[in-house]
Chain A
Amino acid sequence: MIDKPHLVVIGNGMAGCRAVEEILARDADAYRITIFGAEPRVNYNRIMLSPLLAGDKGFDDIVINDHARYADNLIDLVAGDAVVAIDRSAQTVTARSGRVEHYDKLLLATGSDPFIIPCPGHDLQGVVTFRDMDDVGKMLRAADAGGDAVVIGGGLLGLEAAHGLALRGMKVTVLHLMPTLMERQLDEAAGWLLKEALEARGQVILTGADTAEIIGHGRVEGIRLKDGREIPASLVVMAVGIRPNVALARDAGLAIGRGIHVDDHLVTSDANILAVGECVEHNGLVYGLVAPLWEMCRSLADGLVAVPSGYTGSVTSTKLKVSGIDVFSAGDFSGGAGCEDIVMRDASRGVYKRVVVKGDRLVGAVLYGDTRDGNWYFDLLKRQDDVSDIRDALIFGQAFASGGGADANPDAAVAAMSDDGEICGCNGVSKGKVVSAIVGGAVTLDAVRACTKASASCGSCTGLVEGLLSLTLGDAFAGERAAPTVCKCTSFTHEEVRRLIVEKALKVIPQVMQALHWTTPDGCASCRPALNYYLLCAWPGDYVDDQQSRFVNERMHANIQKDGTYSVVPRMWGGITNPRELRAIADVVDKFKAPLVKVTGGQRLDIFGIRKEDLPAVWADLNAAGMVSGHAYGKTLRTVKTCVGSDWCRFGTQDSTGLGVKIEQMTWGSFMPHKFKIAVSGCPRNCAESTIKDFGVICVDSGYELSIGGNGGIKVRVTDLLCKVATEQEAMDYCAAFIQLYREEARYLDRTAPWVERVGLDYIKQRIVEDAAGRETLRDRFLFSQLFMQDDPWAKRAAGEDYKLHQHLAEIRPMVPA
């Protein structure tokens, strides 16, 4: 072990970590590796900062390598301790803490720094850049306070920052020096369409706007332009560009230009020092996008531990990560001698496409509104394919150009891609890599995501990955493709509908159906209840429940029976009752001539044979004795079954009845994807049958064993142990968090058992057990939504609400002929 040469990496960002990954993939034993990072965090996906700001992702979603990953590979991660000096003759680096490490090979991956316009006021509080997690943190705090934000810079980064802040409720003005937005990536036409679309969303876009001064006393208060205009702002984001971070390299005497000079194997002017990423200059070019970085890392690893391949520079493409606005560009579209443009517009669909051809090669493409063919154009461009044969159809996209026409197989697009064609831009994954993962046994979308990271970040290439699965596996995948659509009224899956409801801020059922192109006028008996649930879960307190989208039992707050009468189950907290409740139930049975009373499996009493007209009167009588609805009819908490526990039982270890009552009082009334049953047993003898409930608690001497995903129905399933906790409060917190996760992520009509099997116990453990902060926010969201749900529906009906549901419209009494 000691004999292994030591590779020291400066920079724990995307380039540094990717380079290490590529090296390990080729030869895991070649080097002992130490990584220095200036940020006190594990490695995360910097290009996902935009979705993080926009609220589409959380920090955990954008982590690339967690601590375990470093430990597994025996990598020494030194986070939060920046390297301050390199001694090339001694081959050592020195960190700020004074730590010195000897290196055999040194890799510089110092990235770039945001460019700050040196105008007056640039150092005021409230002026931030958009580069790392700390910046996002500052922006989120500013957004919480609300008010006006100014973003300086209308390029990719600036527009994504503006979008995120606008979604967070700030009034956003974008200042851009040039006459068109994203002028380096878009032509004037596409830039204009983009400006219109952003303005329609409420952003103010000022082009040709030159900043003179940022004004304020200690804190930013606004901005003054050179033409004298002033714009108020409590937050100013500078997103005007980046500059390679070459300070360490310069101090060490390496050759630098705009970036650190490297050769085709990413070696600097010192043969023992390599450099990669945004800090390098290769053949006079500096790159600020992620795709070139992946290509550099491959060549670097090839050169260091395998067969040198040589980096030849990158052709880049751009996609804007602003949901609902599709923009793609690649290559050169500035025109010039010998270039010809082919343009197509479809105003009603808001589509603009332009491809630039030089001779018989494609040299550039700009797509707005319909970017499906972006990857295909990019592939043609990178491969320098001869396009003369398909030139006439080029602008209509791959389906037409390949001769397929309207009914072309959608998988044809992905089939026609070359092996090194890029599938996932976020993670730099090629088609070849995905296919070999599938051949190697990753036969589901989740498995491909787990082993290649393709489509695991922004998800926009999910369709391509699915296409590759179906191409590679044939029918074996088609049958297995697990995500079903909500119903025949839509082609969207449950997950997509839920995501779009939040993303597009859809607030009522007709709006969802319109925005998501429902194929029926008002849905069906499958999708209406599902949408009603998804909306209620997404907008607690805001959304008004739609009675007509509820299944009869939930509309009538009782269980319909085969003869059209109903059964009524009042709540008995934790299965405990008393003489007053029993008398009231007995009286109801007598008064309404109920033909049957039965003890249920959930430890309460069920009164059968009540007519819908009599329900409000029955409920009024039960309410009068202090009883409320038992929700025996709903997609909601049914009961918390308990045993008598330590108060009475000679084996009891804890107060299982007391805890059951507390849990039932916390959880009753919640609307969920399906019914939900809980039990608390006072000892491992498990008299309350906790191990076949959705959430089960088994008390032991030292605390509480929590288990999930059990079911006593058609297919019996024993719960999986989630974890053990020490206190009642923890048991309740975990319960609330688990229910909320189920509420937010399961499909409507999924019981917990199939849901847990689908997403995996490890996932649930990660969200509920390992991620303590995440657990708390889930619990808080559950308790918040409960503020609006814990209203006894019987009391309102007994008081006359929705009386039409219980009364006949009229009655016909024919006159009997004499």
Chain B
Amino acid sequence: MSLQAEWLDIGPVDQLPALGARTLPVRGGREIAIFHTANGEVYALVNACPHKAGPLSQGIVHDTTVTCPLHNWRISLVTGQALGSDVGCVPVIPVKIDNGRILIGRAAALAGVV
């Protein structure tokens, strides 16, 4: 794999629970949460709620939203924005599915790696 590849293959989609999430640590960077919605779409966010850095991967997924397990902030999986009256945003990592494999955007995933 070229160092310059735009997409990183992180594994097969069937390793994600329906309506759930799994984690993807990034050495030297910020852990990523990979979400699976009811209709089979996959999204990725930095695994830290904009409120108190709660692990979004452990929240309840509904529609294209995850509710943070610490204080029930609702975060859009599509935009990373907090919903409702809360204000805040978590970085979104581009995801695509290719042949049953999950690919995430390399640049966004490695953002902040020191």
Interface residues of A (CB under 8 A from B): 520-525, 528-529, 547-549, 551-553, 555-556, 560, 562, 564, 612, 804-805, 807-815
Q: Which residue of A lies closest to B109 (CB)?
A: A812
Does B16 sit at the interface, judged by CB under 8 A? yes
A556 touches B58 (CB 8 A): yes
B62 touches A523 (CB 8 A): yes
In the complex, what distance in Å separates the CA atom of A553 from the CA atom of B34?
19
What count of chain B residues pass the 8 Å CB interface test? 42
Chain A to chain B contacts (Cβ below 8 Å), 11 pairs? A524-B62, A524-B65, A528-B60, A547-B17, A547-B20, A551-B60, A560-B58, A564-B54, A804-B22, A811-B24, A812-B24
- Known A560-B70, A562-B52, A814-B28: A522·B23 in contact at CB below 8 Å: no
B109 touches A525 (CB 8 A): no
Residues of A within 8 A of B63 (CB): 520-522
Candidates A523, A548, A807, A812; contact of B8 at CB < 8 Å: A812
A804 touches B15 (CB 8 A): yes
Residues of B within 8 A of A814 (CB): 26-29, 110, 113
A552 touches B58 (CB 8 A): yes
Known: A521-B39, A562-B52. 16 other contacts (CB 8 A): A521-B38, A522-B63, A524-B60, A525-B72, A547-B20, A552-B69, A562-B70, A564-B54, A564-B58, A807-B22, A808-B23, A809-B23, A809-B34, A811-B27, A812-B29, A812-B32
Candidates B11, B34, B60, B110; contact of A549 at CB < 8 Å: B60
Residues of A within 8 A of B62 (CB): 520, 522-525, 528
- Known A809-B34, A812-B8: A548·B59 in contact at CB below 8 Å: no
Residues of A within 8 A of B38 (CB): 521-522
Please give me the 9 A-B residue pairs with the lowest Cβ-Cβ distance, nearest first: A525-B67, A552-B69, A809-B22, A548-B19, A552-B58, A564-B55, A525-B60, A812-B26, A522-B38
- Known A548-B18, A809-B24, A812-B24: A560·B69 in contact at CB below 8 Å: yes
Q: Which residue of A lies closest to B33 (CB)?
A: A809
In the complex, what distance in Å separates the CA atom of A551 from the CA atom of B62?
13
Candidates B11, B17, B23, B109; contact of A548 at CB < 8 Å: B17
A809 touches B11 (CB 8 A): yes
B1 to chain A, nearest CB (A): 10
A548 touches B20 (CB 8 A): yes
Q: Which residue of A lies closest to B9 (CB)?
A: A810
B57 to chain A, nearest CB (A): 9
Q: Which residue of B lies closest to A522 (CB)?
A: B38
Q: Which residue of A lies closest to B60 (CB)?
A: A525
A808 touches B70 (CB 8 A): no
B22 touches A808 (CB 8 A): yes
Does B87 sit at the interface, judged by CB under 8 A? no
Residues of B within 8 A of A807 (CB): 22
A810 touches B24 (CB 8 A): yes
Residues of B within 8 A of A525 (CB): 59-60, 62, 67, 72, 74
Interface centre among B8, B16, B23, B113 (most CB of A within 10 A): B23
In the complex, what distance in Å separates the CA atom of A551 from the CA atom of B60?
7
A804 touches B58 (CB 8 A): no
> Which residues of B from 43 to 74 have beta carbons under 8 Å from A?
52-55, 58-63, 65, 67, 69-70, 72, 74
A808 touches B24 (CB 8 A): yes
Q: Which residue of B lies closest to A809 (CB)?
A: B22
Interface centre among B53, B67, B109 (most CB of A within 10 A): B67
Residues of B within 8 A of A562 (CB): 52, 54, 70
Does B88 sit at the interface, judged by CB under 8 A? no
- Known A521-B38, A525-B59, A525-B60: A810·B19 in contact at CB below 8 Å: no
Does B25 sit at the interface, judged by CB under 8 A? yes
Residues of A within 8 A of B10 (CB): 809-810, 812
Q: Which residue of B lies closest to A489 (CB)?
A: B62
Contact string against A for B residues 74-109, beta-carbon threshold 8 Å, 1 for contact and 0 otherwise? 100000000000000000000000000010000001
Candidates B16, B20, B69; contact of A551 at CB < 8 Å: B69
- Known A548-B20, A804-B15: A813·B69 in contact at CB below 8 Å: no
In the complex, what distance in Å separates the CA atom of A556 from the CA atom of B61?
15
A562 to chain B, nearest CB (A): 7
Residues of A within 8 A of B8 (CB): 812
Residues of A within 8 A of B32 (CB): 812
Q: Which residue of A lies closest to B69 (CB)?
A: A552
Residues of A within 8 A of B110 (CB): 812, 814
Q: Which residue of A lies closest to B10 (CB)?
A: A810
In the complex, what distance in Å separates the CA atom of A435 from the CA atom of B53?
55
B86 to chain A, nearest CB (A): 14
In the complex, what distance in Å separates the CA atom of A549 from the CA atom of B102?
24
B84 to chain A, nearest CB (A): 11
- Known A809-B15, A810-B10, A812-B109: A548·B24 in contact at CB below 8 Å: no
In the complex, what distance in Å separates the CA atom of A811 from the CA atom of B102?
13
Q: Which residue of B lies closest to A564 (CB)?
A: B55
A808 touches B25 (CB 8 A): yes
In the complex, what distance in Å separates the CA atom of A553 from the CA atom of B18?
18
A817 to chain B, nearest CB (A): 8
Q: Which residue of A lies closest to B16 (CB)?
A: A809
Residues of B within 8 A of A564 (CB): 53-55, 58
In the complex, what distance in Å separates the CA atom of A224 from the CA atom of B63?
57
Residues of B within 8 A of A813 (CB): 27
Residues of A within 8 A of B53 (CB): 564
A812 touches B70 (CB 8 A): no
In the complex, what distance in Å separates the CA atom of A521 from the CA atom of B15?
23
Residues of B within 8 A of A808 (CB): 22-25
Residues of A within 8 A of B65 (CB): 524
Residues of A within 8 A of B26 (CB): 811-812, 814
A548 touches B61 (CB 8 A): yes
In the complex, what distance in Å separates the CA atom of A522 from the CA atom of B53?
26
In the complex, what distance in Å separates the CA atom of A815 from the CA atom of B52?
30
In the complex, what distance in Å separates the CA atom of A223 from the CA atom of B53?
73
A812 touches B27 (CB 8 A): yes
In the complex, what distance in Å separates the CA atom of A663 from the CA atom of B72?
34
In the complex, what distance in Å separates the CA atom of A560 from the CA atom of B11?
27
In the complex, what distance in Å separates the CA atom of A564 from the CA atom of B54?
6
A530 to chain B, nearest CB (A): 12
Residues of B within 8 A of A524 (CB): 60, 62, 65, 67
Residues of A within 8 A of B28 (CB): 814
In the complex, what distance in Å separates the CA atom of A112 from the CA atom of B51?
71
Residues of B within 8 A of A804 (CB): 15, 17, 22
A522 to chain B, nearest CB (A): 4
A815 touches B15 (CB 8 A): no
In the complex, what distance in Å separates the CA atom of A743 from the CA atom of B110?
48
Candidates A523, A612, A809, A815; contact of B3 at CB < 8 Å: A815
In the complex, what distance in Å separates the CA atom of A549 from the CA atom of B19?
9
Residues of B within 8 A of A556 (CB): 58
Residues of B within 8 A of A528 (CB): 60, 62
In the complex, what distance in Å separates the CA atom of A808 from the CA atom of B15?
10
In the complex, what distance in Å separates the CA atom of A553 from the CA atom of B63?
21
Q: Which residue of A lies closest to B64 (CB)?
A: A521
A526 to chain B, nearest CB (A): 9
A167 to chain B, nearest CB (A): 32
Candidates A521, A551, A810; contact of B11 at CB < 8 Å: A810
B17 to chain A, nearest CB (A): 6
In the complex, what distance in Å separates the CA atom of A521 from the CA atom of B37?
11
B34 touches A548 (CB 8 A): no
Residues of B within 8 A of A529 (CB): 60
Residues of A within 8 A of B74 (CB): 525
B55 to chain A, nearest CB (A): 4
